[in-house]
A = this chain, B = another copy of it.
């Protein structure tokens, strides 16, 4: 059998995952499909839900290979691909594999480094682009609040909002992240939610209330934002970082807060917005080239570092889009 090293789930994590919840093993390389080698593996908080069977993309059980969005290089021409092509697809955390042709998508040659196809011009970029342009639809001068603003989705939302003329306030949990948001991403205001009194800071930076809130975290940060919605506010609910590591989903804000603001609260799932991808790729790459949009990557080297890199992400200790560079 043709086999290749891969990362498997060893046991279901309890609370915050630890590296020992995973193991390095070998997996068979299928005999048909597009032969590829992994270049970059995307680590994403939503994966935590899959380890408990709580995510809409299904369960990963002990013994199963870990899978996620991956950028790969085609090593053997065929199925319409040429050796050397850079592609992306949902794939196991594995060195070499053959993937069903329908699950392999070319990565535009303009996207370099190719890792960006997993970040600012990949799924996180698409999430942000759909959130800003389809759900929030900022008008110039409106206040946009973003949680987990130094993450790949949050940072892109915040900067797309700034580009659209919104007054953008980002929340993050370390001095380094806050400095980057202020100095590099050029947000209008930044709240260090661990050091500052969150509600006081929100009152200070959003004296007229919050017109738009993009939420990546849920929990008390969502509660504090909902308490301060301006009339006609729009809220995009996208992530639940505060509860991915918990077993029971906690309660949310009282519905009276939505009624009072006549707010529109919407759930955002990126899979619904795939049709926006070409427009997003062009638009975000242009903003990067023009120096209007910054991004940050947090790259861990070697397939064997993937478990600990994922655990670091789930502890909130990463800074930038969490990736594993496989080779």
Most buried by B among A238, A252, A258, A268: A252
Q: How far is the CA of A272 from the CA of B231 in the complex (A)?
A: 11
Point out the residues of chain B lying under 8 angstroms from A80, CB to CB. none
Q: Out of B215, B218, B262, which one reaches A266, CB within 8 Å? A: B262
Per assembly, the copies of the chain total 2
Most buried by B among A255, A261, A265: A255
**Which of the candidate stretches A58-66, A243-251, A287-295 sits at the interface with the other chain?**
A243-251
A173 at the interface (CB under 8 A from B): no
A259 touches B268 (CB 8 A): yes
A56 at the interface (CB under 8 A from B): yes
A264 at the interface (CB under 8 A from B): yes
Q: How far is the CA of A268 from the CA of B288 in the complex (A)?
A: 40
Q: Out of B243, B254, B262, B272, which one reaches A252, CB within 8 Å? A: B254
Interface residues on A, range: 20 to 34
A256 at the interface (CB under 8 A from B): yes
A84 at the interface (CB under 8 A from B): no
A30 at the interface (CB under 8 A from B): no
- Give the Cβ gap from A228 to chain B, nearest Cβ, in Å: 14
A222 at the interface (CB under 8 A from B): yes
- Give the Cβ gap from A220 to chain B, nearest Cβ, in Å: 11
A237 at the interface (CB under 8 A from B): yes
Q: How far is the CA of A266 from the CA of B266 in the complex (A)?
A: 9
Q: How far is the CA of A266 from the CA of B254 in the complex (A)?
A: 13
Q: How far is the CA of A56 from the CA of B260 in the complex (A)?
A: 7
Point out the residues of chain B lying under 8 angstroms from A260, CB to CB. 56, 267, 269
A265 touches B262 (CB 8 A): no
Q: Out of B56, B250, B258, which one reaches A265, CB within 8 Å? A: B258
A263 at the interface (CB under 8 A from B): yes
Known contacts A250-B254, A255-B218, A256-B249; is-contact A264 B262 (Cβ 8 Å): no
A237 touches B266 (CB 8 A): no
Most buried by B among A249, A250, A256, A272: A256
Known contacts A251-B252, A252-B253, A253-B252; is-contact A267 B272 (Cβ 8 Å): no
Q: Which of chain B's residues has its CB closest to A217's CB?
A: B255
A240 at the interface (CB under 8 A from B): yes
Q: Out of B240, B254, B262, B264, which one reaches A255, CB within 8 Å? A: B240
Task: Show 16 A/B contacts (Cβ-Cβ < 8 Å), sorted by A.
Answer: A56-B260, A218-B255, A237-B259, A238-B259, A240-B255, A243-B256, A250-B254, A251-B251, A251-B252, A251-B253, A258-B265, A258-B266, A258-B267, A259-B267, A262-B272, A265-B265
Q: Which residues of A contact B (CB under 8 A)?
A: 56, 215, 218, 222, 237-238, 240, 243, 249-256, 258-269, 272
